[in-house]
Amino acid sequence: MSDKKYFVLMENGQDTSQVFVSKQPRGAALKAATRKVPNPIQLRERGTNRVHNFEGWIEVVDKPANGPSWLPPKINKANVKKIGITRL
């Protein structure tokens, strides 16, 4: 059995067509932050009545020491902070 969960991006209380797949809500929020989704990031977990709320931002950092050679010297790194859960 798969541990994947599907999280639907919400904007202004309405579902959008974007769906992020991850085991945890934080992983889906990181994917949304990478795509520069405006704050707050609201992700509705499919099959439940939970909406996970996150604040997300992107930082420009040096590439890791063990990074591949094709990676540029500066990369974008997504960060998120959980605000809370609301129920529908």
**CA angle (32 as vertex; 5, 82 as ends), nearest 5:** 75
Residue 86 CA neighbour count, 13 Å, CB half: 11
What ranges in 1-88 are assigned the alpha helix state H? 25-34
Q: What is the pLDDT of residue 13?
A: 86
Residue 61: both structure tokens together? 């950092």
Structural domain boundaries enclosing 57: 5-87
Contact predicate 16/43, CB 8 Å: no
| Residue found under tokens 């999280």 | 7
How many structural domains does the chain have? 1
Q: What is the pLDDT of residues 54-67, one digit of tens each?
A: 999 999 999 999 99
Q: What is the pLDDT of residues 25-38, one digit of tens each?
A: 999 999 999 998 88
